[in-house]
Amino acid sequence: MLPQMLPRYLVNFDLTKLKIIYTDFLIVGSGIAGLYTSLKIHDKGKVILLTKGSLKESSTEHAQGGIAVALGDKDSPHLHMEDTLKAGANFCDPEAVEVLVTEGPECVEELIELGTKFDKIEGKYKTTLEAAHQRPRILHARGDATGAEIERSLSQKVINENKIKIKENILVIDILTEHTTCYGLLVLDSNTNKIIAYLARATILASGGAGQLFSNTTNPDVATGDGIAMAYRGGVRVTDLEFIQFHPTALYHQGSPKFLISEAVRGEGAILKNIKGESFMHSYHPLAELAPRDVVARAITDQMKKNKSDYVYLDATKIKDKFSQRFPTIYKNCITLGINPEKEYIPVAPAAHYTMGGIKTDTWGQTNLTNLYACGECTSTGVHGANRLASNSLLEGLVFGNRIARKIKKNITPSSIKKLEELKLSYNARQERYKEYNPVEIKKELQKLMWNKVGIIRNSFDLKKARQKISEWKFIFKLELKTAEDFELANLIILADLITNSALQREESRGAHYREDFPQRDDINWKKHIVY
């Protein structure tokens, strides 16, 4: 059900009076999922790729650690599956995980063929270990710039492909539907400040996560969960939204944006210490620094609370490889802020990192609407369960993007273009700007509320307080929304409401969802998904 006061569309429109652009395949998002999918499908028709900012502005660009894949002689998809299921807190879909780990190696090999240059040592690909992995199976590039390298290689291929048209600075507002079929998208073209429609035979959402819901996040500014929120408004099932992964180690520096200190740093031997200089992870989990992310994030939070500090330290002064060579991007960022990781401890604190829930799809990326598909962080495919295994996210974008392309190629029919040209959709709800408001200020208040009340450690009292405050902001759905800031805020409020309600409903602790009033996992009553 739609929450009270939530309209079907965020703007009034009449399709017959809008500029319409037709295409075969419409893809939203320019991260690994969107770019790879466009390259896999362009041979079957014209592709338009929409991105909210510039082509290279995505969470992929910021990914440091690498991409997890079972390629080595001492590794196997079976072992990779074991680790993924275990990290997911008995909540993954085994079928989806099997697809991920068995089809992953071929997709990564194709990524290499497309020009991605992973780091090698003596002619062999160099792999590293990350938390909760049995084997060192993480491929990385330029030390700690894996995402940037993947983004470089894929975006270059997309730019060079004539049948793929890239449209930058396009904010997608809503999916256009009739009955249970998706026909395309309503967008705000930020280049002209006009609302236009894109109609397509198949629409693919690869729009990323929602880290900007929280005041502390490693995500870029564009990660406002637009795809998930608009899919929900359009009648698409969304699920598992209470599971937000908080990365344990973001660089803490007052006044600076949160910068990820990759898990690979701990994989290479760095040790967490509290502000007294004491190591502590061995007291929380047998795997210490390499425990699952949710465990490490809560342990750090506990140490910060006990010692009344805003951060802990990461001691990387004794890792085997020279820090500046193994992690050049992190090193450069630390040095800029006056921290030398080779000689001194790095101050770190947890930050919102990954949205594990989202648009519910099957193992072929299909949603419950005809002609609407989704892949990447905006989805809930079932591979991450309640806690994503480190470095599985980039692999998920490849594997399910590839599957969507295969599915569409099999199902596409030429007759669907004729139907698009006959489409006459309109929406005219009463929307009046009856009060002025500042979307930027409300966004800041919302981010602070979500961090404090719906963050790493949750309880019924805080969640109910958050829900009440979020409801007060729903007045904006009665107003005429015009700007990108308006639309982003609307999407964030919807997701905040869904996440808070899901977290309140799930009366157990599982993976990244921790309730201090229900601290145990409850497989008898709660091994089930909350679907809206």
Question: Residue 405 has which token pair?
Answer: 């392309």
Strand-pair category, 170-178 with 181-189 = antiparallel
Put the strands of the sheet holding 138-139 in their side by side order.
67-68, 138-139, 127-128
Give the whole-angstrom CA distance, residue 85 versus residue 81: 6
Which of 292, 339, 332, 342 minimizes the C-alpha distance to 311? 339
User: Which residues of 109-264 form beta strands (DSSP E)?
Assistant: 120-121, 124-125, 127-128, 138-139, 164-167, 170-178, 181-189, 194-205, 238-239, 244-251, 259-260
How would you classify residue 23: left for phi > 0, otherwise alpha for psi between -120 and 50, otherwise beta? beta
- Start-to-end CA distance of the chain, whole Å, equals 7
Give the whole-angstrom CA distance, residue 131 versus residue 284: 14
Put the strands of the sheet holding 346-355 in their side by side order.
259-260, 244-251, 346-355, 312-315, 271-273
Sign of the C-alpha dihedral, residues 247, 453, 396, 511? positive
Which of 207, 308, 291, 306 minimizes the C-alpha distance to 249? 291
Q: Please, which residues have CB within 8 angstroms of residue 36's CB and are 6 or more apart in sequence? A: 107, 111, 154, 397, 398, 401, 402
According to DSSP, the residues that pair with 200 across neighbouring strands are: 23
According to DSSP, the residues that pair with 14 across neighbouring strands are: 426
Query: How far, CA to CA in Å, does 56 sit from each of 50, 151, 397?
Result: 12, 7, 16
Cα 124-158-72 angle, rounded to 5 deg = 20
293 as an active site residue: the answer is yes
According to DSSP, the residues that pair with 48 across neighbouring strands are: 26, 165
Which of 156, 191, 174 minimizes the C-alpha distance to 30? 156
Asked whether the beta carbons of 282 and 499 are under 8 A apart, the reply is: no
Which of 129, 141, 126, 127 minimizes the C-alpha distance to 32? 141
Which one is catalytic: 233, 293, 388, 403? 293
Asked whether the beta carbons of 230 and 487 are under 8 A apart, the reply is: no
Cα–chain center distance at 529: 19
Positions marked active-site: 293
